[in-house]
Structure 1
Amino acid sequence: MGISLKKLFAPADMTVGKPWEQIVIFTIPMLIGNIAQQLYNTVDSIVVGRYVGDNALAAVGSASPIFNLLLVLFIGISVGASVMVSQYFGAKQREELSKTIGNCVTLTALASVIIMVLGAVLVKPLLHMLNTPASIIDWCASYLMILLMGIAGVAYYNILCGILRGLGDSISALIYLLIATVINIVLDIWFVAGLKMGVAGVALATVIAQVVSAVLCMIKLARMTAVFDMKWKYLKMDRFHAATIIRLGLPSGVTQAIFSMAMVVVQSLTNSFGEMVIAANVIIMRVDGFAMMPNFSFGTAMTTYAGQNVGAKRYDRVEQGAKQGTLIAVGVSAVITAAILVFGKYLMAIFTTTSELVTLSANMMKILAVGYIAMAVTQSLSGVMRGAGDTMTPMWISLITTVLIRVPLAYGISYLTRTPELPTGDYRCIFISLLSSWVLGAVITTICYRRGKWKEKGLKTQKAEN
């Protein structure tokens, strides 16, 4: 009767059972985990906003796009790992699975060193390039440098979680993340409210919590001997596995880089509107993070589901699950959209006691609300394509909607709405442009999915050709 605790924490075979049920069971713990991860940034913002001030809140927000840009290598490795792991697990190829995981561990170590060095050199120039206000630039730099010192913890947690999810285990990642979230919250309050460490205290708390979660993930993987082998010989990089991880993951890394670059460019525009709009944008992005979590969770679940079933050559199940999973994701996003429209102002008031900032943030959030339904479609169907090994198509869609639509539209509206009272234009351009890119992305993604080119990308076929 019921599911045993041992089975709950074991890898899940998604090639059997009802598609929608497998997707939902896999998504729920991952959604809880993603919400917990979003608490990292949210608690940072709440603690900084209430104990240090609105300028410190703006500093944390201005630093975030730069840090996200520096994480693109890890995002690429994580996606490549998840796709390969899910397909080899679905195909029951133990040796290939072991080599893939070993190569991921080594690639992550190399990428951590590269990012740490690059980041230390680029942080200050990037902040100056973005016209970061002088009142917050030192706080931004301090925050970023501490995060970079602990980059390996952040990297390994995200990549090892990607491997666990590829194996169908979303429960373990959830448990470790919840532990790390509690550590992060306690340390945030202690470092900032107690020790008065300011923005630096928030960054240090995040690093410590991520390192703990990464260690727990590594211990879990080392014990999964029934599924694959974690041996020294598999840590040695080989050409096929390392290249395939990079080839599959690079488009997703580039996608995130494009998105992060767009965020950096738009952040420069946001900075031109002053500290109040910067702080409002930070609050909106924190709430947006929670609102987007179901979409990201369903997208990742669809990647694992599609990957395992493509590995098992069950394309009928892939299409059935794609339809069912997308419909469920759209329903969840519709509920979230309604909640934002009704309770938006109360959500904003959690972050600041400044009434003008609460009103400004709530009005801007209403512009974005409907876009979450469009993103449910984009994330779900993109997840299916990635899981099948087609990581290029989502990259091109992101390129079109972000570079050709969002950024030009934001700057165009800003320019066209300039008046003596608004010398830099209407600040709503930031959110109108984002909503437009989301809606267009959903339309293009649906068309590309229905064309079916993703069905030709299975790993086993590609290796046979090599």
Structure 2
Amino acid sequence: MQLNMTKGKPLPVILMFTVPLIIGNVFQQLYNMVDTIIVGRYVGADALAAVGSTGTIMFLITGFSQGITSGFSVRVSQKYGAMDKVAVKRNVANGILLSVISIMIMTAFTSSVMRPLLRLMNTPDNIYDMAYSYIIVICVGIAANIFYNLFSAYLRAVGNSQVPLFFLVFSACLNVVLDILFVVKIQMGVAGAAWATNLSQAISAVLCAVYIWVKVPDLKPEPDQWKISPQDTHPQLAAGIPMAFQFAITASGTMIMQSAINLFGSEAVAAYTAAGKLQNILTQGMVAMGQTMATYGGQNYGCGNLKRIRAGVRAALFAEFIYSIAAAAVMILLLKPCLHLFFSGDVDMTAMMPWATTYCYMCAAFFLPLCTIFIFRNIMQGCGYGFLPMMGGVSELIARLIVSLIAMRLLSYPLACFADPAAWIAAGAFTCVSYLYVMKQIEKEFSQIRY
């Protein structure tokens, strides 16, 4: 199941790796959506708004986890592309140990700042307690989140995107069962949905770890490699920290945008949350392409093939432009029927639709710049360049901050919704220019090695 991405025509190789990732990402979004559907239908619209109001904080936590673990796996994919099996195993062990340290720091920090953070984000008083109950349980489950993402990233680093998909589908199905058990049967409220997410992720992490230890000897460290290695720690942190902060910076921008949305009340927050879930599902093809390009870039950088890296980026852009247009069309067509899934019959849908329609239609018009961000950002990260992708996150933050602050000053909901497209335009332009610069730097690097 391991795929060598240094051989074959770029587009078929990229699509072969991407399709399982799309399916897996969609399943992940679906079981996140199930949380909100069950909470909205069985606990109430305010409960849905409470979960939705913490969505950007959850994105910060999960994004930071994905970023730092993906950074740890970049070194693995590069060494795998260079056929250095000893270094692959050593970096796997080092990344696990660094992840343990990261878990302790993240759990302590997020748990201590959550109450003031919810206040800072203008969380409506009528949903504040439920919002805190949900997000504090997510903080407790950071270990499960990090280890699932780490082991999945290791498998992808050696070209295996099918096995993480299998475990994710299993986890998604389990999450649905646990949601029904905790929220509907035991009536644990929003906290039950959070515990269902934590437990399903923990089981997926264990299954991934067992699979690696039994079936993927290339990723199984030797007993004498279980120690913090300075020669591996520096490059892993150099890749992981910028990737984690890039997610954190992006999430900070969305938190500012959420603060603007929160000013319009729990009804607007609930509609925005439901519409955002649909958008998240439809943009998973872009996310998956980004994950693919990180592995593709890492393996081809490891074997020194710059021409193939550029060819892969061109192929990915072609595929994603087509996907973006299709995703925008589907979102516009499915918005109304999908919105009904989130609410029980006593909710006035005619009041919800204008809030949801404004956000979805505005975002659909700007999917093209969004898709380029994932490609340019991840190909640079896969080649070991973390600073410029992180600064792309800064450009997103600045754009969201400016638009959100103006929206809060003018109390304009459409302008608050435009914060996302503004961020995509800014980051798309920045990462495009950065990619061209990085390719020139790699060209110089490879020419010096040859001569």
Q: CA 1:48/1:28 → structure 2, altered by over 3 Å: closer, same or farther? A: same
Secondary structure, in 3 states, of the residue corresponding to 1:376?
Answer: helix
Whether the 8 Å CA contact 1:390–1:454 is kept in 2: the answer is no
- Alignment partner, residue 370 of structure 1: 365
Counterpart check, 1:383 vs 2:368: no
Aligned partner (choices 5, 9, 14) of residue 18 of structure 1: 9
Match of 2:412, as an amino acid? D
Counterpart check, 1:432 vs 2:418: yes
Secondary structure, in 3 states, of the residue corresponding to 1:135?
Answer: helix
The alpha-carbon deviation at position 462 of structure 1 amounts to 12
Counterpart check, 1:41 vs 2:61: no
- Alignment partner, residue 7 of structure 1: none
Match of 2:426, as an amino acid? L
- Alignment partner, residue 407 of structure 1: 401
Aligned partner (choices 319, 327, 332) of residue 328 of structure 1: 319
The alpha-carbon deviation at position 183 of structure 1 amounts to 0.3
Q: Please, which moves more after superposition, 264-273 or 331-340?
A: 264-273
Q: CA 1:251/1:328 → structure 2, altered by over 3 Å: closer, same or farther? A: same
CA–CA separation in structure 2 for the residues paired with 1:438 and 1:73: 19
CA–CA separation in structure 1 for the residues paired with 2:433 and 2:294: 18
CA–CA separation in structure 2 for the residues paired with 1:50 and 1:63: 18
- Alignment partner, residue 340 of structure 1: 331
Whether the 8 Å CA contact 1:19–1:320 is kept in 2: the answer is yes
CA–CA separation in structure 2 for the residues paired with 1:107 and 1:462: 32
Q: CA 1:458/1:107 → structure 2, altered by over 3 Å: closer, same or farther? A: farther
Q: Which consecutive unaligned segments of at least 5 residues does structure 1 have?
A: 1-9, 418-424
Superposed, 1:228-267 pairs within 5 Å as 228-267=219-258
- Alignment partner, residue 421 of structure 1: none
Name the count of aligned residue pairs: 445
The alpha-carbon deviation at position 184 of structure 1 amounts to 0.1
Whether the 8 Å CA contact 2:48–2:270 is kept in 1: the answer is yes
CA–CA separation in structure 1 for the residues paired with 2:419 and 2:135: 27
Whether the 8 Å CA contact 1:63–1:140 is kept in 2: the answer is yes
The alpha-carbon deviation at position 453 of structure 1 amounts to 4.2
Q: Please, which moves more after superposition, 30-39 or 125-134?
A: 125-134
- Alignment partner, residue 63 of structure 1: 54
Whether the 8 Å CA contact 1:157–1:210 is kept in 2: the answer is yes
CA–CA separation in structure 2 for the residues paired with 1:349 and 1:285: 14
CA–CA separation in structure 1 for the residues paired with 2:131 and 2:113: 13
CA–CA separation in structure 2 for the residues paired with 1:402 and 1:360: 23
Counterpart check, 1:398 vs 2:393: yes
CA–CA separation in structure 2 for the residues paired with 1:329 and 1:363: 24
The alpha-carbon deviation at position 113 of structure 1 amounts to 1.6
CA–CA separation in structure 1 for the residues paired with 2:3 and 2:326: 29
Q: CA RMSD in A?
A: 2.1
Identity %: 29
The alpha-carbon deviation at position 233 of structure 1 amounts to 2.5
Match of 1:369, as an amino acid? A
The alpha-carbon deviation at position 224 of structure 1 amounts to 4.2
- Alignment partner, residue 4 of structure 1: none
The alpha-carbon deviation at position 133 of structure 1 amounts to 1.8
Whether the 8 Å CA contact 1:311–1:458 is kept in 2: the answer is no
The alpha-carbon deviation at position 234 of structure 1 amounts to 2.1
CA–CA separation in structure 2 for the residues paired with 1:284 and 1:462: 51
Q: Please, which moves more after superposition, 357-366 or 367-376?
A: 357-366
Match of 1:248, as an amino acid? A
Aligned partner (choices 74, 87, 93) of residue 84 of structure 2: 93
Q: CA 1:373/1:30 → structure 2, altered by over 3 Å: closer, same or farther? A: same
CA–CA separation in structure 1 for the residues paired with 2:445 and 2:34: 41
CA–CA separation in structure 2 for the residues paired with 1:55 and 1:402: 28
Q: Give the TM-score of the pair, scaled to structure 2.
A: 0.94
Aligned partner (choices 209, 218, 243) of residue 227 of structure 1: 218
Whether the 8 Å CA contact 1:86–1:166 is kept in 2: the answer is yes
Match of 1:29, as an amino acid? P
Counterpart check, 1:140 vs 2:131: yes
Whether the 8 Å CA contact 1:330–1:373 is kept in 2: the answer is yes
Match of 2:89, as an amino acid? S
Q: Please, which moves more after superposition, 147-156 or 65-74?
A: 65-74
Whether the 8 Å CA contact 1:389–1:459 is kept in 2: the answer is no
Match of 2:168, as an amino acid? L
Whether the 8 Å CA contact 2:56–2:251 is kept in 1: the answer is yes
CA–CA separation in structure 1 for the residues paired with 2:113 and 2:430: 35
Counterpart check, 1:446 vs 2:432: yes
Q: CA 1:233/1:437 → structure 2, altered by over 3 Å: closer, same or farther? A: same
The alpha-carbon deviation at position 222 of structure 1 amounts to 1.1
Q: Which consecutive unaligned segments of at least 5 residues does structure 2 have?
A: none
Match of 1:440, as an amino acid? A
Aligned partner (choices 127, 145, 148) of residue 157 of structure 1: 148
The alpha-carbon deviation at position 137 of structure 1 amounts to 1.4
The alpha-carbon deviation at position 394 of structure 1 amounts to 1.3
CA–CA separation in structure 2 for the residues paired with 1:457 and 1:296: 27
CA–CA separation in structure 2 for the residues paired with 1:18 and 1:26: 13
CA–CA separation in structure 2 for the residues paired with 1:167 and 1:322: 19
Q: CA 1:322/1:196 → structure 2, altered by over 3 Å: closer, same or farther? A: same
The alpha-carbon deviation at position 216 of structure 1 amounts to 0.7
CA–CA separation in structure 1 for the residues paired with 2:174 and 2:334: 29
The alpha-carbon deviation at position 221 of structure 1 amounts to 1.4
Match of 2:419, as an amino acid? S
Secondary structure, in 3 states, of the residue corresponding to 1:349?
Answer: helix
Whether the 8 Å CA contact 1:184–1:206 is kept in 2: the answer is yes
- Alignment partner, residue 28 of structure 1: 19
Whether the 8 Å CA contact 2:283–2:327 is kept in 1: the answer is no
Q: Please, which moves more after superposition, 365-374 or 296-305?
A: 365-374
